[in-house]
Structure 1
Amino acid sequence: MYTHSKQIITSGLPVQQAKKAIVMLHGRGGTAADIISLQKVLKLEDMAIYAPQATDNSWYPYSFMAPVAQNQPALDSALALVGEVVAEIEAAGIPTDQIYFAGFSQGACLTLEYTARNARRYGGIIAFTGGLIGQELAIGNYKGDFKLTPVFVSTGNPDPHVPVSRVQESITMLEDMNAVVNQAIYPGRPHTISGEEIQLVNNTILKKS
């Protein structure tokens, strides 16, 4: 079993110049560079971009719906790494409510898990095909108040990795914690990020305030 070393790729504006930052989490088998390449299509021009790299290109070894113990210590290590990145952004002077998150697939699951365990008012949360982690949801882990943070969660129906039922369950949990969730379920869509999702996120969460 593995833990993650701190390897972070940055892009976008230098954090000292930026008023906002985004933490981007790649999917299983992906890389930090892959997820950062979304800056070509997402409206991230005014942000400092941080993308941590998972050891062996995977945040945890098994399905996100496996018993949590099977995904340890990798899962706790991944959550701690995201926490370190957030602390680094805050230390650079960007307040929590200007910190955004975006992840795809395994990275989307990690994004939702981290933010639900540390619910505060964030700038926005984007989970391209993801849900909260565990064989069943460990409600006791989810603490805090999102204070109307906008959240986008999507999946295909059916999706080979992320069942619609878990997405719905996750959304209910997030809404109970005062997140404002926009969900998109795409019939027959392969396990990918569609142009429609990009457009939706650009027009809602990343819309210039």
Structure 2
Amino acid sequence: MYTHEQTIITHGQPLEKTGKALILIHGRGATAESILSLSAHLYASDFSLFAPQATNQSWYPYSFMAPASQNQPALDSALELIHKTVTSIKEQGIESRDIFLLGFSQGACLTAEYATRNAQRFGGLLIFTGGLIGQQLDTSNYKGSFDGTPVLITTGDPDPHVPVSRVDETVKIMEEKGAEVTKKIYQGRSHTILQEEIDLAKKILINK
């Protein structure tokens, strides 16, 4: 088991110029640089970009549907790195409603888990093929209120890693905590991001 080095890649203009941040969280086997390349398709040039890097290119060793204890201490270390990223942005005078989080696959699961454990009015959450983490979801972990945060959450049906049932559970919990959720399930879609998903994400980013 492992913990994560505190590595965060930044890109674009500084926060004092943009006033808003987009945190991008990569999937298993990928890198911060690879997820940053997605920003070119998102009209994100007026955001300051932050991409944490997972040690060993994986945020936690097993499936997100495994018992959470099996993914420790890597999972807690990953959540702490995301928290460090958010905190450092806030310390530069940026409010949570000007902070957006985006993740794909394992990164989408981490995005959902971090945001729901620390619910507040984020600018938006873009959860490309992911859901809350654990074999059974422990709702006592989830604190705060999303206060109308727009959320996009997607998966394929079937998807090899993220079942529709877990997306549905995630939507229910996030809505109960005050999120405005758009859920999209794509029949027969491979484990990827479609143009339609990009277009829906742009709407959330542009409306800021």
Counterparts of 2:142 and 2:23 in 1: how far apart (Å)?
20
| Distance across 1 between alignment mates of 2:87 and 2:201 | 25
Partner residue, 1:47: 47
Per the TM alignment, residue 92 of structure 1 is displaced from its structure 2 partner at its CA by 1.1
| Structure 2 gap segments, 5+ residues each | none
Match of 1:112 in 2: 112
1:44 Cα offset (Å) = 1.1
SS at match of 1:108: helix
The SS at the match of 2:10 is strand
Partner of 1:136: 136
Q: How does 1:61-76 map to 2 (within 5 A)?
A: 61-76=61-76
When normalised by structure 2's length, the TM-score is 0.98
- The aligned counterpart of 2:206 is 207
Q: Which residue of 2 aligns with 1:160?
A: 160
Identity of aligned residues (%): 56
Counterpart contact for 1:3–1:55, Cα < 8 Å = yes
Q: How much has 1:208 moved relative to structure 2?
A: 3.6
Cα distance in 2, alignment partners of residues 41 and 12 from structure 1: 14
Which digits, 9 at most, give the CA deviation of each residue in 1:66-97, with x for residues without a partner? Answer: 00000000000000000000011011111111
Residues 159-201 of structure 1 show CA distances to partners (whole Å, capped at 9, x for unaligned) of 0000000000000000000000001100000000111100111
What count of residue pairs does the alignment treat as equivalent? 208
Q: Which amino acid counterpart does residue 127 of structure 1 have in structure 2?
A: I
SS at match of 2:148: coil
SS of match in other structure, 1:206: helix
Alpha-carbon shift at residue 124 of structure 1 (Å) = 0.3
Determine the C-alpha separation between the residues in 1 that align with 2:43 and 2:74.
Answer: 31
Does the 8 Å contact 1:12/1:44 carry over to 2?
A: no
Where structure 1 has 5 or more consecutive residues not aligned to the other structure, the ranges are: none
* TM-score normalized by the length of structure 1: 0.98
**What CA distance in whole angstroms lies between the structure 1 residues aligned with 2:19 and 2:207?**
12
Distance across 1 between alignment mates of 2:49 and 2:181: 23
> Could you say which residue in structure 2 is the equivalent of 1:186?
186
CA distance in 1, matches of 2:90, 2:66: 33
Instruction: Please say if residues 103 and 127 of structure 1, whose CA atoms lie closer than 8 Å, have aligned partners that are also in contact.
Output: yes
| RMSD of Structure 2 on Structure 1 (CA) | 0.7
The one-letter code of the counterpart of 2:201 is V
Off by >6 Å, runs of 4+ in structure 1:
none
Residue number in structure 2 paired with 1:101: 101
